[in-house]
Structure 1
Amino acid sequence: MKKLIPALLILIFTSQSFLGQTVPTVHAVGAMKDMGNTYDLKVWLDTLPQKSHLYGMGPYDRMKGEITVVDGIPFHASAFEDGKAVVGQSWDIRSPFFVYSNVPEWEVFNIDGPLNSVEDIQYKVATLAKEKGYDLKEPFAFKVAGEFDQLTVHIVTPRNPEVEGYKPDVKSQKFISKNEKGQLIGFYSEQHQGVFTGSKSFVHVHYLKDDQTFMGHLYKITSGDRSFKIYLPKKNNRVKTGMRVNDTDFSKGRMGHIQNIDLDDLVKFHGHLCDGLVVGHLALQEALNELYPDGLIDRTNTRIVSQPSPCLTDVAIYTTGARYQFNTFYVSKDIDGLFTLQRMDTKKAVTVRMNKGVKPKEIDKLGALAVKGELPACDLDKLKKMEDDFTETLLSTDPGKNFTVSETTDFKWSPVLKNDFIKTDILNKDKEKCNKNNQGK
């Protein structure tokens, strides 16, 4: 029995090192303070990943109005005519800055008013979140639902003559509603003033009427002593995707430049978030932990062989620092796993594999059709949804259950140069968008 205790302790430690209680990540594209006078567009909403439970907000186009995404429904509102707001729904819209988060589940709490200013909302949200164990240093989305005595909501209007809806000296229209039911959608952050909150505020709040006929940016609020429901993102187990790496400190430098790299860094390098990128990142994290048990990865001391997937190869070279021209990276379909990697000082080599049954078979089935160009546009969207769901599964379960790392005792470094692999992630780049009335093409 005593011999089992150390093993049990190791299992407990491993689980805790990879999983933590976190809220869904808040992402920001562009910044309020950087819009200048041109309001250059930084994001096309149609390109955002994992839209099914997306919440987000920002200006509509070049200040043509407001955007609010609520549980995967993208609303945009404009006010080109005096006293008239027009609300539509579309993903085919753009914004000069945008904040968003994918929140599949919420925790619901009852609170009493008053909510008589945006500052009151900020205080109530922060106080409740802190009381419930949320880390106020990490940004998060929130909602407030109920009936409000009076709301003043504005919708921005264009500031440049060449933009549709422009009127000289008019920067927004204000609308007042009384005794109206709806929800306030907001983002709280103590780290993003001037990015997606004002310079003196920790919140950015929009309002959506219950019947979805009106939406805009919250300017003033009066609630009286009514009761409300505050929604905070449900905290879930989440894989910790960061790695500590050691590099040289300049072009001819010494070792000792220690930094953290994360999945978000990989996304920027690769171009998008996808299930293949997450598979590669988590698998390689498992393998590198085996080679570097102290948790500090020497990127000058690692070489790697990767399967030819564009996702896996990007993970391999970015994470390990390996490159073909330095004889530390090559691609091969002959390895029995996703990656085989080796420490050059000890010669220890390991291979990491994804366990059978982890990945849904339907993803590979539809993926094969997509590679052949035989997948209709609407089914391509279906495939993306399946991959997004698989990504969420991977990021919320222990990687030790999804991947197996084994030592490769007879490993031989045999680099080959081959450049006729298919870059599968760009094959459908010109595919038409899904037309619900013509789903078979």
Structure 2
Amino acid sequence: MKKVLLAITLFLSYSILQAQVKHAGAMSEMGKTGFAPRISLDSLQKYKGLIALGPLGKMQGEITAVDGVPYTGIVTADENSSVQKEWQVDAPFLVYAHVEEWEEIGLRGRVGSIQELEQLIESTLTANGVDLLEPLPFRIQGAFDQMVTHIVTPRSADVPGYVEGKTQSNFDHEQASGELIGFYSKEGKRIYTHHDSFMHVHFLSADKKFAGHLDQFESMLDGAKLLVPKARIQLSFAVIDTEFSKGRLGFEQRVGLDDLVKFHGHLCDGLVLGAKALDHSFQVLFDQDKIDRTDIRIISAPSPCLTDVATYLSGGRIQFGTQSVQPLADGLFVIQRISDGKTIKIGMKPGIKPLEIIEMTAKAENAALSPCELDELKQLEDEFSREILYTQASEIFDFEELEDFQWSEIPQAVFPKTDVINKNQGICSAS
């Protein structure tokens, strides 16, 4: 069997992250320092696409910056709200990013709480192939049915505007037009999102006369626009299947990483690695963006992640002789196009996966990691997933065309399901 290394240059469905989220100070720490300033807003004035959220000074208002313009909501002496546009202000903590260009995604449905809003944002973004492993600034533009917001007020008598026993002023909004400006992050809890949410959101009215922190939200969102930084990583697949159980080929749809997560059960480095490998491979095999799931046979290494990726994206099934799970020396997948026999083997280049992950994985598969070590392994795998997403496939994988490859029917071995070994492990109790 002759093996020929494929030299390939492809247009991939990946793009470079433009908006890096940064922060100064932390939400959970600012009270411990007496709300001491951690950043001056004017240090960010150079960013024409600045988006930022945080409290003003010593809890004297709410800073909301968008499109490079600061809008700081404050409470006036008569308990009304006002907005000032000043750069020469400080913040005890601030989360911010520079976004050069936004892209729009349509929203649909009604939400009855901030928690439901978070779920809708997550499902909408993942359905559109947006990577949620990295922190993300976002905006929602529209008319909103009901909201409650607040603007913080000073906590100390030596700060102008202090009122004893009061820490914020609340505001009710009905049928209010404007935009929600927020940051989504799975790693920002207690830093720039609250302990029970992946989001930190402010409301800026359409007339720019109100800016405050969002506390409660209920609205129909049909017609609202969700904005995210343009050119974030996208990982999605166009597939072709038959039109019904006895139908013709021709039913086309697009599936994404979120669909794989639902099928597999969780997001992990193996799922990302397998999806990226197959995305690149299918484009080599078909020289086009669509995957004909009726014309594929596939062999996957016996990893739960790789096997599920192979099943879902290729359409291969063991019972029909179009999928097999086998140990593959230095390989992840072998894919064959049934119609003409063209076959490709995909492997990972040496040294790509960090040795620490390999060693800790071996221990985890023997139930030899403590709860805290399991958390550490997850963090390492999440970091590796991000690295895989942002790296060109040609730098990660080796591709070989296997000439005269013959698909052989062999009894299917049974392999241990390693992703459930630690399912009853306890929670890390380290502080």
TM-score (norm 2): 0.57
Question: For 2:316 and 2:381, how far apart are their aligned partners in 1?
Answer: 28
The residue aligned with 2:353 is 359
Alignment of 1:184-203 (within 5 A): 202-203=179-180
How far does residue 177 in structure 1 lie from its aligned partner after superposition? Answer: 2.4
Q: Is the 8 A contact 2:19 2:98 kept in 1?
A: no
The residue aligned with 1:283 is 277
Count of residue correspondences: 299
Gaps of 5+ in 2: 1-6, 30-64, 75-79, 85-96, 107-124, 126-135, 140-146, 155-159, 163-174, 184-188, 212-226
Q: Residue 235 of structure 2: which of 241, 244, 250 is its match?
A: 241
Change (3 A) 1:379 1:113: closer
Q: Any idea what the Cα deviations from partners look like across 1:126-158, whole Å, max 9, x if unmatched?
A: xxx999322233875259xxxxxxxxx958xxx
Q: Is the 8 A contact 1:112 1:225 kept in 2?
A: no
Change (3 A) 1:176 1:285: closer
Q: Residue 374 of structure 1: which of 368, 371, 374 is its match?
A: 368
Q: Is the 8 A contact 2:137 2:229 kept in 1?
A: no
Q: Is the 8 A contact 1:237 1:397 kept in 2?
A: no
Q: Is the 8 A contact 2:371 2:425 kept in 1?
A: yes
Change (3 A) 1:274 1:74: farther
How far does residue 340 in structure 1 lie from its aligned partner after superposition? Answer: 0.4
Structure 1 residue 19 corresponds to structure 2 residue 14: yes
How far does residue 118 in structure 1 lie from its aligned partner after superposition? Answer: 11
Q: Is the 8 A contact 2:238 2:290 kept in 1?
A: yes
Q: Residue 269 of structure 1: which of 263, 271, 289 is its match?
A: 263
Q: Is the 8 A contact 2:343 2:401 kept in 1?
A: yes
Alignment of 1:87-166 (within 5 A): 110-113=68-71, 132-137=100-105, 141=137
Higher RCO (CA-CA < 8 Å; seq separation 6+):
2
Change (3 A) 1:302 1:115: same
Question: For 2:338 and 2:25, how far apart are their aligned partners in 1?
Answer: 49
Supply the AA of the counterpart residue of 2:310.
Answer: A
The residue aligned with 2:153 is 177
Q: Is the 8 A contact 2:104 2:228 kept in 1?
A: no
Supply the AA of the counterpart residue of 2:15.
Answer: G
The residue aligned with 2:251 is 257
Q: Is the 8 A contact 1:331 1:418 kept in 2?
A: yes
The residue aligned with 2:120 is none
Alignment of 1:76-91 (within 5 A): none
Q: Is the 8 A contact 1:336 1:351 kept in 2?
A: no
Q: Residue 412 of structure 1: which of 406, 410, 428 is its match?
A: 406
What SS class does the counterpart of residue 153 from structure 2 fall into? strand
How far does residue 346 in structure 1 lie from its aligned partner after superposition? Answer: 0.7
Supply the AA of the counterpart residue of 1:343.
Answer: R
Q: Is the 8 A contact 1:154 1:175 kept in 2?
A: no
Point out 4+ residue stretches in structure 1 off by more than 6 angstroms.
70-75, 116-121, 208-217, 219-226, 232-237
What SS class does the counterpart of residue 335 from structure 2 fall into? strand
Question: For 1:242 and 1:71, how far apart are their aligned partners in 2?
Answer: 36
Change (3 A) 1:22 1:205: closer
How far does residue 353 in structure 1 lie from its aligned partner after superposition? Answer: 0.4
Alignment of 1:277-316 (within 5 A): 277-316=271-310
The residue aligned with 2:47 is none
Q: CA RMSD in A?
A: 4.9
How far does residue 430 in structure 1 lie from its aligned partner after superposition? Answer: 0.4
Change (3 A) 1:218 1:109: closer
How far does residue 254 in structure 1 lie from its aligned partner after superposition? Answer: 0.8
Supply the AA of the counterpart residue of 2:256.
Answer: D
How far does residue 262 in structure 1 lie from its aligned partner after superposition? Answer: 1.5
Supply the AA of the counterpart residue of 2:409.
Answer: P
Structure 1 residue 345 corresponds to structure 2 residue 350: no
Gaps of 5+ in 1: 1-7, 26-52, 56-69, 76-106, 122-128, 144-152, 156-173, 182-197, 227-231
Of all paired residues, the percent bearing the same amino acid is: 33
TM-score (norm 1): 0.56
Question: For 1:210 and 1:180, how far apart are their aligned partners in 2?
Answer: 26
Question: For 2:272 and 2:204, how far apart are their aligned partners in 1?
Answer: 42
Segment of structure 1 superposing worse, 277-286 or 405-414? 405-414
Q: Is the 8 A contact 2:138 2:181 kept in 1?
A: no
Question: For 2:366 and 2:351, how far apart are their aligned partners in 1?
Answer: 24
Change (3 A) 1:283 1:209: closer
